[in-house]
Amino acid sequence: MDASHVVVFEGSPFRLHQPFPPAGDQPEAIRQLAEGIEDGLLYQTLLGVTGSGKTYTMANVIARLGRPALVLAPNKTLAAQLYAEFREFLPENAVEYF
């Protein structure tokens, strides 16, 4: 991810490597998800078809809020894919795979 742009949100320990800026519905989804968490919403759902940028959207939310996150996957294959993608978006931060 050589051409990525590093984004640091004020007060956040995360350094988000963005290969491209959020596009389409992503900026609004990022805003709404972050506001929902800040407002104390216990449950939110991010829906999107395969390849629509859900992982990238969540990496943006995590970096923006500056809070650690637990990401669950329904199987090992998807867990490994998510791990690899989060490592690309947040290479300077701890990303673990269990």
Q: What are phi and psi of 85, to 5 degrees?
A: -70, -45
**Residue 37 DSSP label:** H
Chosen CATH of 5-89 out of 3.40.640.10, 3.40.50.300, 3.40.718.10, 1.10.760.10: 3.40.50.300
User: pLDDT band at 98, cuts 50/70/90?
Assistant: confident
Q: How high does pLDDT run on average in the chain?
A: 94
Report how far apart, in Å, the C-alpha atoms of 75 and of each of 25, 53, 59, 72, 78 are.
27, 19, 20, 9, 6
Mean pLDDT of 63-72: 95
* pTM more than 0.85: yes
For residue range 15-43, what is the model confidence (pLDDT) as tens digits? 999 999 999 999 999 999 999 999 999 99
pLDDT at position 4 over 90: no
Q: Which phi and psi angles does 60 have, rounded to 5°? A: -65, -40
Sequence spans of domains, the chain: 5-89
Q: What is the pLDDT of residue 1?
A: 47
